[in-house]
Amino acid sequence: MGEVQKPSRPVANHNSNKDLEHLSHMADYIVNQRVSKNTQKSYNLALSKLRNFRLSYKLKQHWPVQVNDLLNFIAFCQYRVFWGTISYYISGVSYHHEIQGIQDTTKFLKGKASKGIKNSRRKRYDIRALITAQLLSDIIGCLDKACTTL
């Protein structure tokens, strides 16, 4: 450590690189403790999926992620995974933006994409017939033909 001197005269600190390296490792550790190991793995998977998407469509790997790139990534994922997974991917991108101190543009897109995907997916209708009293009576009447006791 340097000595205390008058404010007008800076003190050289020969150990600053070593100290900063240690502090940098400690800062990384503290930030990484913010989320669980499983969340870190999921976020890394999200970044990997985004990277592969960008590579396959020959998009630049710039940060922050361009809005159009993120929208296209969401569209790409729509028919491959459930919305919950897409939402997690976007959260991973958002977390990366936050950690890097980059302006995060994902919140608005996440909300709008969620509504759009939910509206665009067809509702599944239950085509099963109701079991009426008559149908139940008919089933019970046939049990002796279908089942035998040992």
Give residue-wise pLDDT tens across range 129-148. Answer: 788 999 899 988 888 887 77
Give residue 124's pLDDT. 59
Q: Quick one: pLDDT band at residue 49, thresholds 50, 70, 90?
A: very high
Q: Which pTM was predicted?
A: 0.59
Q: Percent of the chain at pLDDT above 90? A: 22
Tell whether omega for the bond before 7 is within 30 degrees of 0, i.e. cis: no
- What is the residue whose two structure tokens read 């020959």? 58
Q: Quick one: pLDDT band at residue 5, thresholds 50, 70, 90?
A: very low
More confident residue, 93 or 150: 93
pLDDT at 12 over 70: no
pLDDT at 89 over 90: yes
Q: Percent of the chain at pLDDT above 70? A: 79
Helices (H), 14-148: 16-32, 37-56, 67-78, 83-100, 106-120, 133-146
Please give the C-alpha separations between residue 73 and each of 13, 41, 81, 86, 89, in angstroms, as whole numbers: 48, 19, 12, 9, 10
Nearest of 93, 52, 99, 96 to residue 76 by alpha carbon: 52
